[in-house]
Homo-oligomer: A and B are copies of this chain.
Amino acid sequence: MLRNLGLRVTVPRLKALEYVQTHPHADADAIYTSLALSLHGVTRQTVHGIVNDLTRVGVLRRVSLPESASAHYETRIGDNHHHIQCVSCGRIEDVDCVVGEAPCLTPEDTHGMRLVEASVTFRGVCAECEMRNMAHEALQPSIPLTQSHSHARTSPAPTSSTIQAKR
């Protein structure tokens, strides 16, 4: 499978591929953690090398989402499907098909660029986070008038750091 793409078949590559197949949208760190369990010497660099190679030959697809600092990988390629991500916990799901105005997917003005791809990312709030946020709001019914970034934090706001922590 890898061989006729010009890549040698190695244990780390196969394990990484298997992991992404069973864990769609895994990031490099998750793959590393998984590989480290069975192989003793693997490092993050190895994983980065692998995902870069596999992405280049088209076995993996790299997905960058606004709520995640790290790139995610998936084996489902070829169908240009999209993603929906919870802005609160970072959960990612596939979206097979979108409905809406076609013009939204064909820009009127490309500013002289040749279009390669249109990727749609939906940002949402998953049921669990919605629930959790409601509970919080019940305790803090009104929006404070003043709030700063470093002090006077209103709540343990589920920012991207929370998302990272979920890994």
Contact = CB atoms under 8 A, between A and B. Distances in A.
- Number of chain copies forming the complex: 2
B93 A98 contact: no
B99 A104 contact: yes
A43 interface: no
Interface string A29-64: 000000000000000000001001100100000101
A126 B127 CA distance: 41
A164 interface: no
A20 interface: no
A113 B126 contact: yes
Contact of A101 (B98, B114, B122): B98
A138 to B, nearest CB: 18
Given A116-B125, A150-B49, A104 B110 contact: no
B125 A113 contact: yes
A66 interface: yes
Given A100-B104, A127-B113, A119 B66 contact: yes
A140 interface: no
A123 interface: yes
Interface of A: 6, 49, 52-53, 56, 62, 64-66, 82, 84, 86-87, 93, 95-101, 103-127, 130, 144-150
Given A84-B113, A103-B122, 9 more contacts: A6-B146, A82-B104, A98-B101, A98-B118, A101-B104, A113-B124, A116-B125, A119-B122, A121-B121
